[in-house]
Amino acid sequence: MHPTIKRIIFFSVIIAFWEIGSRLELWLPTILPSPSMVLDALITGFEDKTLIYDLVASFKRLAIGLALSLIIGSALGVLLAKSKSADETLGTVILALQSVPSIIWLPLAIMWFGMNETSVIFVVVLGGTFVMTLNMRAGMKNVNPLFVKAAQTMGATGLDLFVRVAFPASIPHVVTGARLAWAFAWRALMAGELLSTGPGLGYTLRYASDFGNMSLVIGVMIIIGVIGYIVDQLIFQRVEKNVLERWGLES
């Protein structure tokens, strides 16, 4: 059986059980609303354009934060790979910070920037930077020395050597780093928006929770999960697979 058919059957069974359980009042709708109630809340949210504004605002913050994290993370990764002193000092700090959950940065961001757009973007940047740094470092460290020596014998040095040999050889790690950076940045964005004051999926999630609108809470959670799955599986996973196949690392 094709995996897609399996998934359709699996989720259909879950939704059917969920709906039947709600109609039989096996649980209170204030605790777990039925799928039909969640769907109604989502339809209302899109009709009044609330969720549309939220999606636009969230993706705007994500685009800025993720772009910055990829740039900063790549630069730091190259620095750690090329400088032993930096790797032994700054690298230790980055490795430690990579394990810190993004939501931990929120109090610091609010104290520095206040409850505004900058705080959310700051958290998103931190969410993706460290994992990108470590993957870029690993990619640069694992460049085949034979490639480097061959390029050097042909006169390649410095920036030319990096552009023509080191960076292309580390592309598989770069793509994996970008995929992980997206995932961490997306989570960080949702965490940051929980305390934001403007439109965004995280803000609407908190707003709905404060007013006991569980249908909208679950609806927004579903949107967050679906977007995460679609971007990861349909974009990053395909790009990563194509790169690995092209580099001969996957059949």
pLDDT 10s digits, 197-227: 778 999 999 999 988 899 999 999 999 999 9
| 151 within a domain of the structure (yes/no) | yes
| 19 within a domain of the structure (yes/no) | no
Element (H, E) at 64: helix 50-82
Distance CA 128, CA 94 (A): 12
Domain that holds residue 161: 35-246
Output the pLDDT for position 136. Answer: 93
3-state class of 26 per DSSP? coil
Distance CA 122, CA 117 (A): 9
* Average per-residue pLDDT for the chain: 87
Residue 184 clears pLDDT 80, i.e. is over it: yes
* CATH number where 234 lies: 1.10.3720.10
Distance CA 42, CA 216 (A): 7
| 3 within a domain of the structure (yes/no) | no
| 8 within a domain of the structure (yes/no) | no
Decide if 11 contacts 3 (C-beta within 8 A): no
Please count the structural domains in the chain. 1
Output the pLDDT for position 7. Answer: 87
| 6 within a domain of the structure (yes/no) | no
Chain-centre distance of CA 92, in angstroms?
23
CA–CA distances in Å: residue 84 to residues 89, 90, 161, 209: 9, 10, 19, 49
Distance CA 23, CA 220 (A): 22
Q: What is the average pLDDT across 177-187? A: 93
| 18 within a domain of the structure (yes/no) | no
| 251 within a domain of the structure (yes/no) | no
| 242 within a domain of the structure (yes/no) | yes
53-62, 142-151, 218-227, range with the lowest pLDDT: 142-151
Distance CA 217, CA 51 (A): 12
Distance CA 110, CA 124 (A): 13
Distance CA 181, CA 72 (A): 12
Planar angle of CA 61, 217, 220, nearest 5 degrees: 40
